[in-house]
Amino acid sequence: MGGHCSACLPWPWLPSKGFELLRVSPPSAQAQAQSQASGDAKLREHDMPVEVVKSQINSEQLSKKQLKKQAHREGRGERKEQKKHQKQATALESALTTLSSALAEHLLQGSSGAGLPPGDSPSSHSEALPRRLCETFGTPAGRYRELPLAHGPSPAEGLAILGSSLLRPEKYGAKFLPQEYSLLHKIWVLLKGDVTGAGVLDIGAGNANCAVLAASILGLTVVCVERESPRVELRAEEQLPPGLRRRVIRVESDIEDFDTRALAEVAAAHGLSRFVLVAKHPCGIGVDRSIDCAVLLRSSPLAKVSSETCRGAMPVLVGVVMATCCTNKLSLDDFRETRVPEFCKLNSSTLPSSCHGDATGQEALVRAVEVMSRCSAWRSASGSDGNAICPEQVRWAELFEDHLQALRLRRLAEAFGDSAEVRFAPRECTLQDRCLLAAEPPMPGGLLAHSERFRDEEFLACLRNGVLALLAETGGGPIDCRPKGLKSSKYGFDYTEEMPPD
């Protein structure tokens, strides 16, 4: 072999018997194809897909080391999942124990017996804790899963009409239009279909898409109260014709500073005598501050406001439509501050009389609400990818929010006479689908309109006429509400550079 092994020789040369060299020709491409076809045919004789059999063969050919690595990866993944679920189970038990202890201390005002007695089974939470929640916060008007659906009348037809008035990214519109449609119908019902001298007080209006629809389609004047307005190019009212643009008024103010005088001045300037307060998804304490504003504006509807710019009776606040959001932000808001003490103070009048105790009892109440607020995030987190939230956590989260919402509902009922809670939009549009309603009794039945079985011909006719009038004003095109200068992979748009054609 001349000192060379077969591995050192060029490919076509292989040793034969007696160390003679034999020239072997490589198989032709045609021969390889015939061999492959023959092998595939034999596999098909066993009625199994060729790809499946090949995959099985490949898996059988894995070395022991490769199989060991694969088993290790799978085992590691399973252990990781087990740890995630165990972490959630531990969090649940810890939260329930802390809450039970805080509620007992609040109810007993610091006396002995708080919390679970030694030796009690953790399962007793399911019996004792709901009872303590009812004793502390009162019985909620309804459980989340029992709340009536109220997405609006004839949604297929109504959404098609309303959607023709706006130009927005498809996914963006699919998420927000059903919410706006539902809210607009509830405003219409509270005003009894009469928009003469009527306005909307939109708390936290943001880009004012909903406000623009109320102004341009329903013919309402909308006062947008916002701490800080978005950039001009992101304000939907800037896309309206001048005649319609005047119906959207921006007031930069904290909601705590917007009082009866501010509303009376706006009302006098625009000839308004009736308002509906609307708030779409204020976070955490924003809900309670908005309710506090409504209570203040409602408390003296006939009060006289003396000033050089405004004289006359206070306009009447006829109702509230408030889609609540992010109860978990009571315990930690965007500024990483807790708002639970403020929540408890604002809602103290709606707690059962037996719960007004000393400072120790009030501190225990704050601790209890902290836990309830923090754990209410379990329901929203259950919709995220790769989460390990268990169904029991979701049920407790819903129950906690039921009790906190009950305080808000009672406060609204004290101010207006009646209040209710509904689920105002499809879950595929928003997981934050709770909506508080308030009005003088009896509560209008139209607020519960839902599905194709419920029709409101006057409302649908108003939408049609409003859209036709809008298109006539704009020259036939919809309002361009595309978020200029922004991009979003979630909603599938990029308007950071040149705007695409309509």
268-312, pLDDT tens digit by residue?
Answer: 999 999 999 999 999 999 999 999 999 999 986 444 443 344 445
Which helix (H) or strand (E) is 478 found in, with range? none
Dihedral, CA of residue 119, residue 122, residue 128 and residue 134, to nearest 10 = 140
In this prediction, residues 424-434 reach a mean pLDDT of 96
pLDDT at residue 39, rounded to an integer: 57
In the chain, what are the domains?
145-476 (3.40.50.150)
Q: How far is CA 349 from CA 165, 247, 344, 470, in A?
A: 44, 37, 9, 46
Both tokens of 60, joined, read 């059988």
Residue 450 in contact with residue 443, Cβ under 8 Å?
no
- For residue 458, give the nearest of 134, 4, 48, 153 by alpha carbon: 153
> Could you write out the three-class secondary structure of 329-352?
HHCCCCCCCCCHHHHHHHCHHHCC
In this prediction, residues 373-385 reach a mean pLDDT of 93
What percentage of the chain reaches a pLDDT higher than 90?
Answer: 68
Residue 294 in contact with residue 438, Cβ under 8 Å?
yes
Give one DSSP letter per residue of 115-144, joined into a string: SPPTT--GGGHHHHHHHHHHHHH---S--G
* Residue-wise pLDDT tens digits, 43-88: 455 555 555 555 555 555 667 888 888 888 888 888 888 999 999 9
pLDDT confidence of 338, banded at 50, 70, 90?
very high
The chain-wide mean pLDDT, for the chain, equals: 85
> Could you write out the three-class secondary structure of 280-299?
EEEECHHHHHHHHHHHHHHH
Which helix (H) or strand (E) is 5 found in, with range? none
Give one DSSP letter per residue of 359-408, joined into a string: HHHHHHHHHHHHHHHHHTHHHHHTTSTT----HHHHHHHHHHHHHHHHHH
Q: What is the rounded distance in angstroms from the CA atom of residue 353 to the CA atom of residue 372? A: 21
What percentage of the chain reaches a pLDDT higher than 70?
Answer: 80
